Amino acid sequence: MIFLKRVLRVGLVALIISIVFIIIANVWVITSTQSRVFTDYAQLPGNSIALVLGTSNRLSSGGPNPFFENRINTAANLYREGKVVHFILSGDNRTRYYNEPMMMKKALMSRGVPDSVITLDYAGLRTLDSIVRCKEIFGQEKIIIITQTFHSYRALFISDYYKMDAIVLAANDSTNEFVAKVNVREYLARTKAILDLYFLSTAPRHLGEKEPITL
């Protein structure tokens, strides 16, 4: 019985420490980056390169993913406004049947963005991979990141760690019940980002040869 009480006590202490760490991590990530999250095109510099972070174009139910649609619409609008001259579309392509960058490219081209201003990054398996590859493989350190607000803080936090000059144009968030689940997952993802960067020294799964983008 005494042993069980000690185990429960240790478990409770560990739980409290974990909760406190998650709270501190999220406060740190958000407060250090939120001033560089924009929603107004007019506040952005022109002639920029944009990194569009990937997500599936379909939900698990088979319906269209509003996060995907809103990111693509935001990217297309930036191009029409003359704010962006080239896109890096970074996402997951770990199997032949799942190709986020190609789906983003098709969606952008259907909205009038030409193939000539699009570069595909097939190894953006995670946000960290997409950010680091943008700098190390494609040679871009000053970028506009396109993603949703909840995701933007983590993307900028990782960019800051790698000394990149990044801002975010936030695409509209979805209004369905899926948002709550994504936000809970993001609380944990921000915590993991700190662990990856400052404790685990996590590197992208794939780097490879440099493919600098020159305009």
How does pLDDT run across 28-44, given as a tens digit for each residue? Answer: 999 999 999 999 988 99
Number of domains in the chain: 1
CA dist., res. 175 & res. 191, Å (int): 25
CATH code at 159? 3.40.50.620
Please report whether residue 19 resides in a domain: no
> 67-93 as b/e, with b when 16 or more CB fall inside 10 Å?
bbebbbbbbbebbeeebbebbbbbbbb
Low-confidence residues of the chain, pLDDT below 70?
A: 174-178
Residue 59 has a pLDDT of 86
Residue 193 has a pLDDT of 98
Please report whether residue 61 resides in a domain: yes
Please report whether residue 212 resides in a domain: no
Please report whether residue 11 resides in a domain: no
CA dist., res. 213 & res. 175, Å (int): 36
Residue 142 has a pLDDT of 96
CA distances from 4 to 1, 14, 16, 175, 214 (A): 5, 15, 18, 45, 64
Please report whether residue 176 resides in a domain: yes
Those residues whose C-beta lies under 8 Å from the C-beta of residue 172, and which sit 6 or more positions away, are 66, 70, 73, 74, 148
- H helix and E strand count, the chain: 6, 6
Please report whether residue 24 resides in a domain: no
Residue 85 has a pLDDT of 97
Residue 97 has a pLDDT of 84
| Full residue range of the structural domain in which residue 138 is found | 29-200
Mean pLDDT of the chain: 93
